[in-house]
Structure 1
Amino acid sequence: MTNLTLQEYQFHDMKLTWLRGADKLTDAGTLFGPVPKVVWSRYYPTNEDNMMAELTDPILIQYKEKNYLIDTSFDTAKLSEKQRRNLGILSESRVEESLELLGLTTSQIDVVLMTHMHHDHSGGLTYRDVSGDLVSKYPKAKIIVNDVEWYEMRNPNNRTKGTYLRENWEPIEKQVTTFSEYINVIPEIQMIRTSGHSNGHSIILLKQGKDTMIHMGDLMLTHVHRNSLWIPAVDDYPMKSILAKEKWLRQAFENDYKFFFYHDQFLAVAQFDKEGKEFVDYVPRSRPPIIPFTDRQDRKPIFLG
């Protein structure tokens, strides 16, 4: 195992670890939707082809001798060359290696919490075994997903059929537990349906005493996307995204929640003031960004250089 270090964050009695998923490039215009490039380019960097770097790092939560995993990245080994090209894959998923570094195997994951079932979140639920059969990567885990999302995963429409893939759900369907509007996975971990990015998209709240961490999933791709109107062109229900972001961002800012991220290449954790404008606390990603800031990003956080 080489060149693999993992980022950890202690939230009271919970330990969060970002496993190493696949890195990818996505058209920046897609991820900022209706926001003009002249505006968003002051906040977030791209390469010369206007591509933005995205991480897809599953987040392991270890709490009371249980292992909970938020989303699963891709299983890059089962991607075709065409898929790799279209998805902008830059690196292989190393989730299994990450777990091994922690002294764990995929069979020791107790619960998988799926914010939604798009390919870059659900692809790592399955893999091809030595005989070439598709099987569950987390065979002993309960997999929790919103009931609307689970239905749409299995019944994609013309817009979603490129991201809701049969190979990502068929091998795991007997492990799936669904919920409607919300579920208390345990008293300290809650999943809540928001819709928006996808119809069954959900956010995740972690609670310890009076403190809360919030994972907004793809409603808030990066720290820059905390403006409720900055929504990606890939959101299936954009007005629902805006309404959900307005609600949850307001609640998070007013109650001093800490945000944690799956895709952001610069920040693992961030907390903002009551207006959501200034940083109160932050934890930068421990590994160097794939596409660093340049002088053009004159609105970037000062502490990120």
Structure 2
Amino acid sequence: MSFPHPLLESRTLGRLRVHAIQAGGQQLDGGAMFGVVPKTLWSRRLPADDKNRIPMGMRCLLIEHDDGLVLLDTGLGNKETAKFHEIYGIENAGGEGRTALEDGIRAAGFAPDDIAVVINTHLHFDHAGGNTWRAPTGEVLPTFPNARYVVQAGERAYAEHPNERTAASYFPPNWAPIVAAGRFEFIAGAREIVSGISVRPTPGHTPYHQSVVVQSGGETLCFLGDVVPTAHHLPLPWIMGYDVEPLVTLESKRTLLAEALREDWLLVFEHDAQAGFGRVVHDGKAYRLAE
């Protein structure tokens, strides 16, 4: 697999400058990514390799805000083993022993120490793994030492009490050092985090998954997280097999995409290896990406 390109896509949203950073690539089973959708349908959009895997991105969003830099999700990080990288087809290496996320932050003109707020959509390893990093000494440290981190309190409880199905997605080193440092804020429900940047519950993938809505100058952007992981998941019933409550995901998508269409939101697709930003249309049968 070739690393998803480009590393950095930047644009203006009202008064804000936003940067989509491709924090790495991975290869996941196509059947798992599309759930009950038959392979004859999804493979027309994303052909699988000989292991039935399809290319995926790990896109994060960096927002230049008056209250400081805000980072949405953090990719995988550098803590996992070579075997783990092989299983999931991970490519995310960056400079200085860090990852592509840190490279992307520097490409935007900043450094990890500049980040003021980190918002996690949820705590799965490919969304919160970059919250922390393993230093050459072996110690696991917050990647963004001056930031406050934000996630739903219910997501933390769900992550810390996994079952046989969810344990493979939640790794305590991705949040425990930040909790120990007193830098994790656990919230309940919809909340404005800083002026114009709000979270809203979009459950289904996990019971406490959240998406992030950014508003400035009459424009609105939504960082979807895993409620709609790629542009190929825009049709309402195209839902990942990874979702623990797929029928709840269906209703989250129905509500969110109707609002996105009505108000002409700009969407960010976190796991799409190609489409970073996009708007939706409805062709009478299904939602799809606008041309």
Establish whether TM, by shorter chain, passes 0.5: yes
Deviations 1:183-240, CA, capped at 9 Å, x for gaps: 1012311101121001110011111233211122111111111111111100011111
Is 1:141 the counterpart of 2:161? The answer is: no
- State the shift of 1:4 in Å: 7.9
1:62–1:68 Cα contact (<8 Å) kept: yes
1:254–1:274 Cα contact (<8 Å) kept: no
- 2:186 aligned counterpart, secondary structure: strand
State the alpha-carbon separation in 2 of the partners of residues 261 and 202 from structure 1. 14
Shift in CA distance, 242/5, structure 1 to aligned 2, threshold 3 Å: closer
State the alpha-carbon separation in 2 of the partners of residues 259 and 91 from structure 1. 23
Q: TM-score, normalised by structure 1?
A: 0.86
Please list every run of 5 or more consecutive structure 2 residues that lacks an aligned counterpart in the other structure: 94-98
Between stretches 112-121 and 263-272, larger displacement belongs to 263-272
One-letter identity of the residue aligned with 2:111: T
Deviations 1:46-87, CA, capped at 9 Å, x for gaps: 3233211111122111122610001001113x2112211222
State the alpha-carbon separation in 1 of the partners of residues 217 and 282 from structure 2. 20
Is 1:125 the counterpart of 2:125? The answer is: no
Shift in CA distance, 5/241, structure 1 to aligned 2, threshold 3 Å: closer
Partner residue, 1:43: 45
Partner residue, 1:294: none
Shift in CA distance, 274/36, structure 1 to aligned 2, threshold 3 Å: closer
1:119–1:164 Cα contact (<8 Å) kept: yes
Shift in CA distance, 245/179, structure 1 to aligned 2, threshold 3 Å: same
Partner residue, 2:91: 90
Mapping of residues 143-182 of structure 1, within 5 Å: 143-173=149-179, 174-182=182-190
Is 1:221 the counterpart of 2:222? The answer is: no
Between stretches 96-105 and 244-253, larger displacement belongs to 96-105
Shift in CA distance, 238/16, structure 1 to aligned 2, threshold 3 Å: same
Q: TM-score, normalised by structure 2?
A: 0.90
State the alpha-carbon separation in 2 of the partners of residues 96 and 87 from structure 1. 21
Mapping of residues 174-193 of structure 1, within 5 Å: 174-193=182-201
Deviations 1:99-158, CA, capped at 9 Å, x for gaps: 223332211100001001100011111112232111111111110101110111222222
- State the shift of 1:280 in Å: 4.1
Deviations 1:19-62, CA, capped at 9 Å, x for gaps: 24121100111100000011112222332332111111221111
Shift in CA distance, 197/4, structure 1 to aligned 2, threshold 3 Å: closer
Shift in CA distance, 44/130, structure 1 to aligned 2, threshold 3 Å: closer
Is 1:17 the counterpart of 2:19? The answer is: yes
- State the shift of 1:16 in Å: 1.4
2:25–2:273 Cα contact (<8 Å) kept: no
Aligned match of 2:34 in 32, 48, 63?
Answer: 32
Partner residue, 2:55: 53
One-letter identity of the residue aligned with 2:213: L
2:15–2:217 Cα contact (<8 Å) kept: no
Partner residue, 1:108: 114
Between stretches 40-49 and 17-26, larger displacement belongs to 40-49
Aligned match of 1:266 in 258, 274, 278?
Answer: 274
State the alpha-carbon separation in 2 of the partners of residues 44 and 190 from structure 1. 32
State the alpha-carbon separation in 2 of the partners of residues 242 and 217 from structure 1. 14
Is 1:75 the counterpart of 2:81? The answer is: no
Between stretches 217-226 and 85-94, larger displacement belongs to 85-94
State the alpha-carbon separation in 2 of the partners of residues 127 and 148 from structure 1. 24
1:256–1:273 Cα contact (<8 Å) kept: no
Aligned residue pair count: 278
- 1:22 aligned counterpart, secondary structure: strand
Partner residue, 2:217: 209
State the alpha-carbon separation in 2 of the partners of residues 246 and 4 from structure 1. 30
One-letter identity of the residue aligned with 2:221: M
- State the shift of 1:277 in Å: 4.1
1:153–1:169 Cα contact (<8 Å) kept: no
